[in-house]
Structure 1
Amino acid sequence: MSKYLLNKFLYTIDRDPDLVERYREDPRGTVAWWEREQAGRILNCIDGESSTWLRFDDAEREALATHDYPALFDMGAHPFLTLTLFIGLFERDYEPMGFQTEYARRLSHVTMPYPDITT
């Protein structure tokens, strides 16, 4: 598992409105595309480099593909990255501040100290 790669995915998707929409409409396809075509390029790797730190593990891939932000949080994804991306994905489906309330409710099982978010 690479928390850095996980956080880099969340960060790069969140910074591009077209990718946010792509991830909303086709999360599994977007994750597969990003992992295959973008991970190495974004991390400045040479062509042909292949390493486990350039691939999501099965649990990460599934959590990303199903928009399971509580699982991502438990894996150590940065809470600011998950919150900002998932607001962009789902805020329109809720009343004002409704998604933020839902996010807090779904993460209410988490107590201090939070999972380690260092990369």
Structure 2
Amino acid sequence: MSKYLLDKFLFTVDRDPELVERYREEPRATVEWWEAEYANRLLNCHAGEASTWLRFDDVEREALATHDYGKLFELGAHPFLTLTLFIAMFERDYPEPLGFQHEYARRLSHHKLPYPDIAT
């Protein structure tokens, strides 16, 4: 398991409006594509520099592919990164103000302190 890779996915997808829409509409295909093309690229580095070992495990891949932000929280994905990406994807589906944020809080409400470790 790599909390770093989960957070990297959330961070990079959230910063590209086209990727946000792609992830919303085709989550499994987007996760597979991102893992193959971006997982091993270094952030903020020159083109051509990359690692070779980063991969999602099956649980991470499935949580991302099904938009399961509750599971992502349990896996240690940073809640701010998760929340901002999922707001961008799903806020429009909730007519009331802060509708998605309330749904997010409801889905995570069963967690008690201490929360999962979000340190990478």
Measure the CA separation in 2 of the matches of 1:40 and 1:50.
6
Measure the CA separation in 1 of the matches of 2:86 and 2:101.
9
The corresponding residue for 2:61 is: 61
Question: How many correspondences in the alignment?
Answer: 116
Deviation digits for residues 64-101 of structure 1, max 9, x if unmatched? 00000000000000000010000001000002211000
The corresponding residue for 1:21 is: 21
The 1:30/1:42 distance shift into structure 2, 3 A limit, reads farther
Measure the CA separation in 2 of the matches of 1:105 and 1:87.
14
Cα offset, 1:39, TM superposition: 1.1
The corresponding residue for 2:52 is: 50
TM-score (structure 1 length as normaliser): 0.92
Measure the CA separation in 1 of the matches of 2:24 and 2:107.
19
Measure the CA separation in 2 of the matches of 1:98 and 1:76.
24
TM-score (structure 2 length as normaliser): 0.91
Moved over 3 A (4+): 42-47
Give identity over the alignment, percent.
Answer: 72
Cα offset, 1:40, TM superposition: 1.2
Cα offset, 1:23, TM superposition: 0.2
Cα offset, 1:46, TM superposition: 4.6
Measure the CA separation in 1 of the matches of 2:76 and 2:14.
17
The corresponding residue for 1:77 is: 77
Which structure 2 segments of 5+ residues have no match? none
Which structure 1 segments of 5+ residues have no match? none
CA RMSD of aligned residues (A): 1.4
